[in-house]
Amino acid sequence: MAPGLVRRESADTEMHKSEDKKTSFVYTKKRGFDVTRNSHLNKGMAFSLEERLQLGIHGLLPPCFISQDVQLLRVLKNYDMKKDDLDRYVYLMALQDRNEKLFYRVLLSDIERFMPIIYTPTVGLACQLYSTIFRRPRGLFITIHDRGHIASILQNWPEKDIRAVCVTDGERILGLGDLGCNGMGIPVGKLALYTACGGMPPQQCLPVTLDVGTDNEALLKDPLYIGLRCKRVRGQAYDDLLDEFMTAVSDRYGMNCLIQFEDFANVNAFRLLSKYRNKYCTFNDDIQGTAAVAVAGLLAALRITKSKMCDHTIVFQGAGEAAMGIAELISMAMEKEGLAKEESLKKIWMVDSKGLIVKGRDHLTHEKERFAHEHAQMNKLEDVVRELKPTAIIGVAAVAGAFSEQIIKDMASFNERPIIFALSNPTSKAECTAEQCYTITEGRGIFASGSPFDPVTLHDGRTFYPGQGNNSYIFPGVGLGVTACAARHIPEDIFLTAAEALAHLVTEKDLAEGRLYPPLTSIREVSVKLAVKIVEYAYEHKLATLHPEPADKDAYVRSLIYTPDYDEFAVDSYRWPEDAMTVQSCKL
């Protein structure tokens, strides 16, 4: 049997597949501790006797042979012994550092249970305490002092086949503000979901933090802080760093390497997206990913209200990246229904920290100007809701409790099925809880949130399962799709395509239970279906650079999916010591 090379893992590790393409083999030059301490290669006590002898690790492990199934049980037992979610986060991250395949096997064993730990809401607390819980670096840390040398730093990363980069500068981590270098927890967590939810091989994913300082005084005074101890650098020096970074990444990994921007402050997020979107394969998840998942929820809600998008009037609590991104995509959806652009914008209103955004108000940014309408100035969200009588309210300003009991009552008074989306993260920043929405509206509210909420049972016995409008429904599928066809750019239409595809996957049973999104247990299948739709769109609109075009796009995308099952290490013809093969070991 002559295996065929399918990809190079690193300079001294290769992956081969047998002719039947069902069995994969790893060839590596690493030996001894270098194997057991490499998270990509390590299988713990699941190494066979032949592998232990061949790789020079016989004697470095206990003599028992333990399957991955039993290893999973051990992880779960230890996990259950942890006293709180932060401890559970630290434990899982240590497992990722130690045994990558087992880490993803754990996540996929119950994605609903583990996603809130490795991602929102626990990752927010982890970022706040990142310097305290820091154990082992993951990804690349590039500072403002590295200008002129970024290409050299990328050379230090051992993997050469990088398909997706997730980058942050840490200035707006979730709803928690400027966390500087501590923000690395976000790209690490996002890319873990690229693999767990989207099936992208982890070796092809690279988390990056651009450390340009922080304006967080508490961090600057913290002796444990792991980042630069200086105020944030802005202006031309900042822009030069970003330009050099984008160029270096595309030079090193190709123009079709996806670069996902994450948790940049408003002041930079919009302009960087505008600057780079037509030059690189890039998107901003806070603007576009959030938009797609929110619009998918709205499209699903339309099936409940039996209406069209252009029938609705929508009020946003917040006017930042998420609000602007969602509003833009809502406008596109309305245009697709036949409504003129200007008319679609008039159906969208925004409330920021200074009140309702109206024409003539001072100091409006260019983005806010587009959603400023003729109306008297109003300062309170309650007054805005009572005056405009929206059919939907969407919270994205990280103002906890912004949707008061009165607001929810008012929404229920002039809507048979009021749409209430409390999308701010983490849970502590949610505009209202699922229980508040369902209880006050007597079960008529159509609810979605950014962080998970438990099911709610009303006094009449009805139980609702609130939909979590988590970006993980979108960005893993988008990442898988654009990298699968080697797209060079990501137009806005791709996110509307993803939103429509996601909404289509919500069943009537889901809607009846209060879900506006498919169950998280199906997230991998959801990502595959979104990726296939994106690949179809890319070829139809001449965005794909992978040729020839796959005839069966579904089969092609599925062929790329990462599996957490252990690979076998190729054992060459070798004359074992006569007594080596008689070692007595138990097997589990």
* Side-chain half-sphere exposure of 68, counting CA atoms within 13 A: 17
Spell out where 396-445 has E strands. Answer: 419-422
Q: Is 119 a catalytic residue?
A: yes
Give kind and range of the element (H or E) at residue 99. none
The sign of the dihedral angle between the CA atoms of 253, 257, 262, 267 is positive
Phi and psi angles of residue 338, each rounded to the nearest 5 degrees, phi first: 110, 0
Residue 137 class from Cβ within 10 Å (0-12 exposed, 13-18 middle, 19+ buried)? exposed
Helices (H) and strands (E) in the chain, counts: 25, 18
310 close to 344: Cβ distance less than 8 angstroms? yes
245 close to 142: Cβ distance less than 8 angstroms? yes
**How far, in Å, CA of 483 to CA of 502, rounded?**
19
Phi and psi angles of residue 69, each rounded to the nearest 5 degrees, phi first: -60, -40
Q: Which is catalytic among the residues 119, 225, 438, 517?
A: 119
Look up residue 226 and give its two tokens: 């792991």
**How far, in Å, CA of 310 to CA of 266, rounded?**
28
Q: Which is catalytic among the residues 30, 43, 101, 190?
A: 190
**How far, in Å, CA of 309 to CA of 300, rounded?**
11
Q: How far is CA 318 from the centre of its chain?
A: 21
456 close to 464: Cβ distance less than 8 angstroms? yes
Q: Is 190 a catalytic residue?
A: yes
CA distances from 117 to 208, 216, 297, 482, 568 (A): 21, 25, 23, 27, 30
Please spell the DSSP secondary structure of 328-391, one letter per residue. Answer: HHHHHHHHHTT--HHHHHHTEEEEETTEE-BTT-TT--HHHHTT-BS------HHHHHHHH--S
Look up residue 153 and give its two tokens: 């730093």
Give kind and range of the element (H or E) at residue 258. strand 258-261
CA neighbor of 304 nearest in space, from 457, 450, 515? 515
Residues labelled catalytic: 119, 190
